[in-house]
Copies of this chain bind each other. A is one copy, B any other.
Amino acid sequence: MIPKKIRTIEEMGEFGLIDHLTSGFVNRQESTHIGVGDDAAVIDHGTYVQVITTDLLLEGVHFDLVYTPLKHLGYKAVVINLSDVYAMNAAPRQITVSLGISGKFSVESLEEFYAGVKLACEKFNVDLVGGDTSGSMTGLVITVTAIGTALKEELTLRSKALNNQLICVTGNLGAAFMGLKILEREKQLHSEDPDFQPELSGYDYILERYLKPEPRVDVLLALKEAGIVPAAMIDISDGLASELLHICKASECGCQVYDERIPMAEETKETAGEFQMEPMVAALHGGEDYELLFTVPLSDFDKVSALEGVTVIGNITDKKGSALLVGNDGNAIQLQAQGWGAREE
């Protein structure tokens, strides 16, 4: 029943594919404010809007149960969706969790997973309101949908970046990716020698960044207190380069960010050194950091610079399609999105 393979998905890339497949759809419902193409869909309820976002997590693609505790996985599956809600400047309210479960799971192992889900619900004040549970012939399949609310005028859409706005990121980048590299290395060594004891000490920070990401609701609160209203915002799930390109595309603008301004933790840089890789590659393409990338008016420079955990890394330009990384020597390279599957080594 599967038609002859003519165009491969790799050729088109994930984002091109979604654009292509959804291009023929027309919105009919008055309440549909924004459909496909931001961190979340937006549904209009008059005095406020509701944002809806969903993520699919597949065993062997998005997580490896050899080194991912199920409680962490439950927590992470929820918070990566909440991160999308926060990136719209919305407050998360409800989630649904659906699981496809293969035969190797016991009730106890699922209790572990739900303990992580519950922890996230308690911490971020959201309600588990539904889902679907099914047997799976293959690996574990997780789908989480998160629902939040916002005031319409406070929504931070990808399309709201304007020329000369400052580009800011929270926290630091590339840590989650280097944590994953460590886990993969130790798994590999263990598979080669079953007596090998994984050595994870000294990597606590980057491991935690990978296994237990935290959405940056703290920074959103700090921005609010400082009277800063972000214009465009997106969470960094696929790496800085990819997210910058999303903003430039949606806002029909360009950007330039400065190599030396990209924040990275010492542990990230040191670990990258162990793997003889450029830490910048992890920051640009590693993904899974779940930090926020946002723009603010140039006039907010002093206020935003004073905030802890926020770094100004560059600015929006009017050169549509030109997303530049400027090095110390003043030379600039055009940023490329690393598509689907390209992150695997």
Residues of A within 8 A of B (CB): 1-9, 11-12, 14, 17-18, 20-22, 24-25, 27-29, 31-32, 34-36, 40-41, 43, 45, 50, 52-56, 58-62, 65-70, 93-94, 96, 98-101, 104-112, 114, 118, 121, 125-139, 141, 143, 145, 147, 149, 340-341
Contacts and interface: CB of A to CB of B under 8 A. Distances in A.
Contact of A139 (B11, B43, B138): B138
A315 to B, nearest CB: 30
Given A3-B112, A125-B28, A9 B107 contact: yes
B29 A127 contact: yes
Nearest to A65: B1
Contacts of A96: 41, 52, 54, 145
A106 B3 contact: yes
| Dominant secondary structure at the A interface | mixed
Contacts of A25: 118, 121, 127-128
Given A67-B1, A118-B25, A147-B43, A55 B132 contact: yes
A41 B129 contact: yes
A134 B62 contact: yes
Contacts of A59: 137
A24 B14 CA distance: 38
Contacts of A98: 54-56, 143
A106 B7 contact: yes
Given A7-B108, A27-B127, A41-B130, 6 more contacts: A2-B109, A11-B107, A43-B147, A54-B132, A55-B132, A60-B137
10 contacts: A2-B70, A7-B108, A9-B110, A35-B130, A41-B130, A43-B147, A55-B98, A61-B134, A135-B341, A138-B139
A129 B43 contact: yes
Nearest to A8: B106
Contacts of A141: 56, 58, 100, 141
Contacts of A62: 134
A20 B106 CA distance: 13
Q: Which 4 A-B pairs have the closest CB atoms?
A: A138-B138, A41-B129, A60-B137, A41-B130
A107 B2 contact: no
Contacts of A138: 58, 60, 137-139
A101 B22 CA distance: 16
Nearest to A39: B130
Given A29-B94, A127-B32, A66 B1 contact: yes
B53 A130 contact: yes
